[in-house]
Amino acid sequence: MVQESVTEKKNPSQAPQIRLRLRFRKTGRLRYISHLDLVRTMTKAVLRAKLPVWYTMGFNPVPKMVFATPMSVGMESLDELVEIRMTEKVDPRWAIEALNAAVPRELRFYEAYEPENKLTDVAYAEYEVLLSTELPLPETAESIRALLADPTLKCTNLTHGKQKERTVGTQTGDAEVSLTDDGRIRMLLTLGVSQGEFLNPEYVVAALAEHLPILAGSPLHNFVLTRRLRVLNANRERFV
Amino acid sequence: MKKIDAYHGVLRQVTNPGEYVGGELYEVQKDKADVSVRFAFVFPEIYSIGMSNLGMRILYESLNRRPEIWCERVFAPAPDMREQMLTHGIPMTALESGDPLTDFDIIGTTLQYELSYPTALSVLDLAGIPLYASERGEDMPILVAGGPCTYNPEPVAPFYDLFSIGEGESALVELSLLYKEMKEKGSYTKAAFLHEAAKLGGFYVPSLYDVSYREDGTIKAFTPKYDDIPSRITKRIIEDLDSAPYPTSPVLPYSETVHDRIVLELYRGCIRGCRFCQAGMVYRPIREKSPEVLCRQAKCLYENTGYDEISLISLSTSDYSAIDELTDGLLSWTDEKNVSLSLPSLRIDSFTEELMRKISGVRRGGITFAPEAGTQRMRDVINKNVTEEDLLRAVSIAYSFKKESVKLYFMQGLPSETSEDLDGIADLASKAVGAFYRLPKEKRGRSVKVTVSVSAFVPKPFTAFQWEAQDSLSVMQEKQRYLRSRITDRKIVYRWHDAEVSRIEGVLARGDRRLAPALVLAAREGMAYAAWSEHFSYEKWNEIFERTDIDPDFYACRARSLDEVLPWDIIDCGVSKAYLARERERAYAEKTTPSCAEHCNGCGADRLGGKTKWCKNQ
Ligand code: SF4
């Protein structure tokens, strides 16, 4: 899914448009900021970093930022992509440094390049889902494995938004389920992110929760941590 | 497991989880092992409100500049988070380290308005800290409070170990360093520390003063328990604002709820001397920053924040003596970068076309003026030296810049008020509408709306009206009804403040330490966040006063005699009681007092020193 985000800023220019793609991590405390606040933070950061950004023409010129995939509040990510249009070629190393100096430390840029392909080519993302639960671990892990293997697994109770039925089992067939040293259940999921295929890992958890009381009880002890590990292309290889 | 992971499940269930975890750009992180004093700065409001406060940013900067001190931020949780904390036994923590408040050496609370007292106490409750200072042992942090409300610290005196009176930039650093020194020397006990702190100057330690009362309930005397502590606490000031720490990399919130703008403080104090205004008195003497320093700070703030608005703040921005130099200096680069200027507190008489052109910020939205009173007589009583002519000229300028909406602030219930003064409010609003139609069509917008916003007068400590009785609730409400009946023009929108809120403010503003039990109940029985109207209940407050045997009228509706010992007499804010009494007399004689720029009226604040422009002794 490609999401275009525009934020207000003036100063039009009629320079060429060069796409600069940046890879970044959003971890720790930054996982609690919304996509909208992230866009806003980035827009200001671009300005503070003095990157030669290209502004849209017209009455209300804005820098254009395109994100590969939206992130839900509470999710960490080790592999995010954003494209910003520049008016000139910039040294990727300098862009990374300048941006990192202008954003909170739990947001880190680590790769920049002029891309050849499009962000719409991102097809899948790999997630790690850590489940803290008071249920007996090996048995619960086993039940989860069985549920994820069932292609008809459905989520009817979405945690956010409207109630809507969604089949998730078609995408969870090759999920890996294991136990961590600190006593949590770890799931590795590869889910679609392209238009129409997008599946939020939280829906998978919601589907599981309809069958198992994994989230019942105190949120201090029963909760889910989600982290996006990698974004992938249509062949399920790392997207570059 | 990382600390926030432990609360992840809870954070996922609240509306704005980002407001409880910190991590913003320019947040100050230090290694606990490297610092001697851990200071938690509590702003008893939710994050989105507290983060816009300039005072907090300045103190955060001042304290964190010292390598031995680590100052962290604490805000009150919103009601949904508070619920979660209570249900799951989550303690109140500071944003930077995520550590509970009980881990800190010093907890500083800023009290910005009276109705935040219950919120401040509820934060302590959530932290598991006993509210009364006398109930806290050696293992508990030192609690210090400051901010505008602490010019009358008495209502909350039993809760805090001490108060920082006046400007806190260097005082709080000194306090922290005293703490460090005594800890390192091994001479620290809470009692010894507080005694030493009381000698630093500018610190009020309420437990070191006995208060005795007369039979009629008024105060007889404050008596210091030691000879070596001051009998009155003189407020602290920063002598030279140019060299004082100013935050040029303030913590930048990511959430959209917080105002994104650069804030420049032009000066402290006020030359005007409006007789109802506490800020105008307690921040004297007037100390200005130089335009060079301000321009430098503005540029630096722009580079560090990327914000596109610069707000020039002070009690009356246009009174800044170098306003033209400053605005010209700023406009030399702001226009080109599309950064706009805004001047939120402009006086009616200084509102000119030229200024209007400069402040592009004003071009957005409506524009606000504060004539404060409806008749010239009443404006003379309160020493608001503006005329009807000034106002009509100002609104006409606004209209000629195609403004279609103008807001006028007034007060009702001022001393000596008659129905004529209320009629005057309605009349002035009509004339402001009339001024629109007097402009030729091509010089104005299409339509006009004048909003009249009327608040009920609350007598405040350290003003010429500190001895006055506040209107009773029924009189306030009667006046509101009367005004509503007088305003019939459909181009005028009448807004009034909740009289019940003004009444409770009236009780707390001039209260004494006997109010403390009521504040505890208020904090524990749902009156925290009372500053938000949906959490305010007048009935509840009255019930609490009844249960704690407090007569609210004694504090709000009683006229004091000039020789009464007032609860805030323990504080010396610079401006003398004799000056205030003089001003009160002139008010009743309907005589105005010129501003400090015209001549010095001998208010007494110059005794405090400071690089000032106007005071005679300089
Ligand atoms: S001492 Fe004089 S000039 Fe200074 S603030 Fe007071 S009245 Fe104004």
What predicted TM-score, i.e. pTM, was given to this entire model? 0.94
**Does A141 reside within a domain?**
yes
Same domain, A126 and A78: no
In B333-352, the residues whose Cβ lies within 8 Å of chain A are 337-338
Return the pLDDT at A158. 63
**Does A237 reside within a domain?**
no
Which letter does DSSP use for residue B400 in this model? H
Sign of the alpha-carbon torsion through B69, B75, B80, B83: positive
Q: Residue A182 sits in which domain range? A: 122-232
Same domain, A101 and A187: no
**Does A238 reside within a domain?**
no
Beta strands in B498-602 (DSSP E): 571-572
**Does A240 reside within a domain?**
no
Q: Averaged over A61-67, what is the pLDDT?
A: 82
Distance from the B257 Cα atom to the nearest Cα atom in chain A, whole angstroms: 10
Which helix (H) or strand (E) element contains residue A130? Answer: strand A124-132
Same domain, A63 and A104: yes
Same domain, A108 and A10: yes
**Does A197 reside within a domain?**
yes
| DSSP three-state, residue B74 | strand
**Does A178 reside within a domain?**
yes
Same domain, A103 and A129: no
> CATH number of the domain that A187 lies in?
3.30.70
* Residue B290, C-beta contacts closer than 8 angstroms, at least 6 positions apart: B242, B322
B344 has a pLDDT exceeding 50: yes
**Does A239 reside within a domain?**
no
A11 has a pLDDT exceeding 50: no
Check if A44 contacts B (Cβ < 8 Å).
yes
Same domain, A8 and A111: yes
B65 has a pLDDT exceeding 60: yes
Distance from the A117 Cα atom to the nearest Cα atom in chain B, whole angstroms: 31
Mean pLDDT over all residues of chain A?
Answer: 88
Give the domain-ending residue among A99, A120, A141. Answer: A120
Total domains present in chain A: 2
Which helix (H) or strand (E) element contains residue B106? Answer: strand B106-110
Same domain, A108 and A170: no
Q: Which two tokens stand for residue B23?
A: 């991590």
Q: Averaged over B519-537, what is the pLDDT?
A: 84
Give the domain-ending residue among A56, A90, A120. Answer: A120
Nearest residue (CA) to ligand 1, atom 8: B596
Same domain, A100 and A23: yes
Interchain pair A28, B303: CB under 8 A: no
Same domain, A160 and A183: yes
**Does A219 reside within a domain?**
yes
Same domain, A132 and A100: no
Ligand 1 binding pocket mutation candidate from B288, B595, B615 (most atoms within 8 A of CB) = B615
Same domain, A111 and A139: no
> CATH number of the domain that A13 lies in?
3.30.70.580
Are A38 and A77 contacting, i.e. CB atoms less than 8 angstroms apart? no
The string of pLDDT tens digits covering residues A186-235 is 999 999 998 888 999 999 999 999 999 998 889 999 999 999 999 999 99
Are B513 and B211 contacting, i.e. CB atoms less than 8 angstroms apart? yes
Give the domain-ending residue among A120, A152, A184. Answer: A120
Interchain pair B27, A34: CB under 8 A: no
Question: ipTM of the predicted structure?
Answer: 0.88
Check if B4 contacts A (Cβ < 8 Å).
yes
Are A180 and A186 contacting, i.e. CB atoms less than 8 angstroms apart? yes
Return the pLDDT at B197. 98
List the domains of chain B with CATH numbers.
2-165+168-234 (3.40.50), 251-509+568-605 (3.80.30.20)
Same domain, A105 and A146: no
The string of pLDDT tens digits covering residues A126-182 is 999 999 999 999 999 999 999 999 999 998 866 555 667 888 999 999 999 999 999
The closest alpha carbon to B383, from B418, B408, B347, belongs to: B347
